[in-house]
Chain A
Amino acid sequence: SAVISQKPSRDICQRGTSLTIQCQVDSQVTMMFWYRQQPGQSLTLIATANQGSEATYESGFVIDKFPISRPNLTFSTLTVSNMSPEDSSIYLCSVANGGSYIEAFFGQGTRLTVV
């Protein structure tokens, strides 16, 4: 199993600012995933981050709004840029178990409130 640490666990931010969320994994993984979980909604995949290449974004999410870094096989960051209250959500980092993304491991999430 993989142990994932996310920082910060929560934050309250002013609209128009940016927040960078860090995800640290205790083992090397090829693919890392960033999800958003809005109140009462399902987990929605934002993007997939592979080390050494550009992140792949899902429909409705763009790099300018959610830039992602993946400098090595154990670390990734997601930035939420130019925030508005609609960005208030829980953001989760996830990794796959081995080569098949069935058992996904998740961090504890970052609870973001934009005021």
Chain B
Amino acid sequence: QKEVEQDPGPLSVPEGAIVSLNCTYSNSAFQYFMWYRQYSRKGPELLMYTYSSGNKEDGRFTAQVDKSSKYISLFIRDSQPSDSATYLCAMREPEGAQKLVFGQGTRLTINP
């Protein structure tokens, strides 16, 4: 079993839709939860991160962490064609452990 599981998609939705991206994980020691966005032929870039459980909102993006279920989500509201990219979840154990563990990435297409 992989430490982090993410549905690779692809996921295709119309412009303006609400998008839900999800990851599950098995390592209960993970405390930092991150979402990266990767455009074609580019390196990943950090969208947002959450420490431990709870929600975090940044504009049209909301990240949720449910540690009891070992489940994290990224919601995109009012999706735009420019949101079309691969979204990768990543996780990290607490201070001192520098290793990021990534999900497979979900390829998302927003259709105008």
Contact = CB atoms under 8 A, between A and B. Distances in A.
Given A101-B92, A101-B100, A102-B32, A42 B42 contact: no
Interface in B25-73: 32, 34, 36, 41-46, 49
Residues of A contacting B: mostly: strand
A115 interface: no
Contacts of A40: 8, 104
Contact of B98 (A41, A101, A106): A101
B6 interface: yes
Nearest to A6: B43
B100 A106 contact: no
A41 B4 CA distance: 11
A48 B98 contact: yes
Interface string A75-115: 00000000000000000101010001111111111010000
A45 interface: yes
Given A103-B49, A104-B46, A42 B92 contact: no
Nearest to A103: B46
Contacts of B41: 108-109, 111
B8 A106 contact: no
Contact of B44 (A44, A101, A106): A106
Contacts of A42: 2, 4, 6, 88, 102-105
Contacts of B8: 40
A4 interface: yes
B95 A100 contact: yes
Contacts of A58: 99
A43 B28 CA distance: 20
A105 B45 CA distance: 7
11 contacts: A33-B98, A42-B6, A42-B104, A43-B44, A43-B90, A45-B100, A92-B43, A92-B44, A102-B49, A103-B46, A106-B44
Given A102-B32, A105-B43, 12 more contacts: A33-B98, A40-B8, A41-B104, A42-B4, A42-B105, A43-B102, A44-B102, A45-B99, A48-B98, A107-B43, A108-B41, A109-B43
